[in-house]
Amino acid sequence: MSDRQSSNAYWQANLRIIWISLAIWALVSYGFGIVLRPLIASIPVGGSDLGFWFAQQGSILIFIVLIFFYAWRMNKLDREHGVEE
């Protein structure tokens, strides 16, 4: 595999991870917290409803998990492509 092909494969994998992470973040923050809130409002969580929980705490917690997932996955991708620090 040439350097150019290896570089393209690396960036395609990187962009795939970014798009998946953004899709999860958008689904949780906008989908569950705003758009789907009326549908999940009947599920009680800690004295409130699940839609409110996603809007207030859930999206933040998922965002933090996504940060750690991205760092872990990019370190693994860097090792696979020989560009680790």
Residue 1: its pLDDT value, please?
62
Structurally, how many domains does the chain consist of?
1
This model's pTM is above 0.85: no
Could you tell me if 38 and 51 are in contact, meaning their C-beta atoms sit under 8 angstroms apart? yes
Examine residue 45 and state whether it is found in any structural domain, yes or no: yes
**Is residue 6 domain-resident?**
no
Q: Specify which residues 44 forms β-bridges with.
A: 49
Residue 11 has pLDDT above 90, yes or no: yes
Residue 4 has pLDDT above 70, yes or no: yes
Task: For residue 49, list its beta bridge partners.
Answer: 44
| Spatial CA neighbour of 45 closest among 64, 61, 26, 58 | 58
Tokens of 45: 């969580």
What tokens appear for 76 in the block? 């693994």
21 in a domain, yes or no?
no
Identify whether 19 is part of a domain: no
Q: Which domain holds residue 76?
A: 30-85
